[in-house]
A and B are shown apart, each in its own frame.
Chain A
Amino acid sequence: MKLEYLYGVLPIAVILVVWQLLPQLGIVPQQFLPKVSSVFYEIYTSALLGQGRYQLGANYLFTIERTLLGFALAAIIAVPLGIVIGSSRSVNRILEPTLEVFRPLPPVVLIPFFILIFGINDSMYVAYIAFGAVWPILINTIDGVREIEPLYLDLAKCLMMNKVRSFFRIRLPATSPYIVSGMRVSLLLALLVTVAIEMVTGHNGLGFSVVYAQEESDATTLYSVIVLLAITGYVFDLLFVQAENRFMKWYKLSQNLT
């Protein structure tokens, strides 16, 4: 077990060492590939201390705030809606073409639409991000409701549970792994979409910072933003993995035995 951990750490360690050495030894010019230490120093000064003109800390907060708000809005809309749609075969069939049209649509083409309606402000961002992030949760929730083990529903009928009880006791827990799975995808998608729109609108946020840094040919800041976003994405995903392990362990384990 311990040895395998080492194997996992090795590739990352190698990359970090190479990353530090290549510019340090002058093999690659530092304007192109800044040292790892410079990048982390920049993160420290610009993001944590708020120095310099890039203000990575403030911009980071903009990005995170929008991502989380948009995600929350998407979840609040998608979960109940998904449950309603999934519960009724007729509703599902009627709405399916519409969903199938909107699901593959790249949300970025609708950026102008949102800008026109809201202008460039926080509500526009949150609305847009929510629109982009809603689909994985919605589709997954619908699937989860539709694929509930029929025996559970039989059981609910045999026990003469009324609709409310059977929903909270059986249908919701049974659907929850799908919902959580959809949310996990959705949060990362929200982050992606947030950065994309920030890059396009050039207003504020890390997306704006990274374009600004590129215009100034500032590789260090560029990498700083990349690292910040990579860490953020990783943490988001990790949170969900932890949540899944704590609350959804039963799902993974029960699946293996059927």
Chain B
Amino acid sequence: MRILTDYLFIVAGVGVLLSILLIWQIVSITNVLPSTIFPSAYSVVLSFFSQVENGSVILAVIYTLSRLFEGYLFAAAIGIVAGISIGLNRLVNRSLDPLVQFLRPMPSVVLIPLAILYFGLVDSVIILIVTYASLWPILINTIDGVRSIDPLVIETANQLRITGLKRLRKIILPAAAPFIVSGLRVSLGIAWIVAVTAEMIGGIVSNGVGVSIFYYLNSGNLAPMYGAIIAVAIFAYFLNRILLVTQYRLMPWVARSSRMLDHEA
């Protein structure tokens, strides 16, 4: 009986999304907005599937994601390692904190032109900026996670003489893990923004969804443009979902880690 209501809610939830498509279709049919900017939902869906079929949109997303992931994973490696080191050392944390607090709020997209100036119009420019941009949420959340460990636990570890790598594995990482995953989720969002913005600025790279979207925009071929947007939405949704599920698994006792959001972005 209860499972039935659960399914009903899922259906209703999906229904809301579908009704957005429906409204879209109606709007385009009644020509409230000219079809030049608003192709019908039907044509967009058709276009989307044909794009998937001939692989063009998937390819574009994969180009974007490859740059994104390189930067993102690099940032994760640096951020987690540095975060744990800084988090464990009060003095280092205190010294670096003002610097971090100053650099963190800066909108990192502004560094794209700087990187172009230095390195020219290359793929690796994007990867570099993605790394920088993604670094902060992961770093800060990791530091938070490590610092949130109850001092009593550390004392217990000292008494039981659990040190070094063993302590890292058994005590520090499990305790900080939910924070780290939360930071990873936030960073992913920023990585997307930076990676796609760089593609859209033009002239840097010749592939990726940002490029595709603007290409379709400029050539007036809007249905595939929306198709590309939908493709990004789907990928972004699933990637976020994976991290969310990981977060729930690590912290099943919290419905949503809203407290972690204290240091988002």
Contacts and interface: CB of A to CB of B under 8 A. Distances in A.
A11 B265 contact: no
A222 B113 contact: yes
Contacts of A196: 107, 109, 193, 197
Contact of A109 (B16, B209, B241): B209
A12 B98 contact: yes
B133 to A, nearest CB: 9
A52 interface: no
Given A105-B233, A192-B109, A98 B17 contact: yes
Interface string B80-112: 000000000001001111110111111111111
Contact of A97 (B13, B190, B200, B240): B13
A223 to B, nearest CB: 8
A111 interface: yes
Contact of A106 (B16, B38, B193): B193
19 contacts: A8-B97, A97-B17, A101-B233, A104-B236, A105-B232, A106-B236, A108-B196, A108-B200, A109-B196, A110-B229, A112-B217, A136-B261, A195-B109, A196-B107, A196-B109, A196-B193, A200-B200, A222-B113, A234-B105
Contact of A7 (B91, B106, B240, B256): B91
Contacts of A213: 113
Kindly state the interface size class of chain B when it binds its partner.
35 or more
Contact of A185 (B99, B103, B236, B265): B265
A223 B110 CA distance: 10
Contact of A188 (B116, B233, B265): B265
Nearest to A135: B189
Nearest to A226: B110
Contact of A234 (B12, B101, B192, B232): B101
B265 A192 contact: yes
Contacts of B214: 112
Interface in B4-25: 9-10, 12-17, 20
Interface in B48-103: 91, 94-99, 101-103
A181 B262 CA distance: 6
A33 B16 CA distance: 53
Closest 8 CB pairs of A and B: A233-B105, A214-B113, A104-B240, A143-B258, A97-B13, A106-B192, A116-B37, A7-B95
B118 interface: yes
A94 B13 contact: yes
Contacts of B200: 108, 111, 200
A214 B107 contact: no
A4 B94 CA distance: 7
B43 to A, nearest CB: 15
Chain B CB within 10 Å, residue with most, of A90, A194, A206, A226: A226
Contacts of A200: 197, 200-201
Interface of A: 4, 7-12, 15, 32, 90, 93-98, 100-101, 103-113, 115-117, 136, 139-140, 143-144, 146-147, 178, 181-182, 185, 188-189, 191-196, 199-200, 206-207, 210-211, 213-214, 217, 219, 222-223, 225-226, 229-230, 233-234, 236-237
Q: Interface residues of A: mostly helix, strand, loop or mixed?
A: helix
Given A95-B13, A211-B113, A8 B192 contact: no
A113 B229 contact: yes
A213 B16 CA distance: 45
B213 interface: yes
Contacts of B233: 101, 105, 109
B121 to A, nearest CB: 10
A12 B99 CA distance: 6
Contacts of B96: 11
B255 interface: yes
B98 A11 contact: yes
B161 to A, nearest CB: 29
Nearest to B197: A196
B16 A97 contact: yes
A105 B236 contact: yes
Contact of B110 (A182, A188, A193, A210): A210
Contact of B265 (A108, A143, A146, A189): A189
A207 B201 CA distance: 11
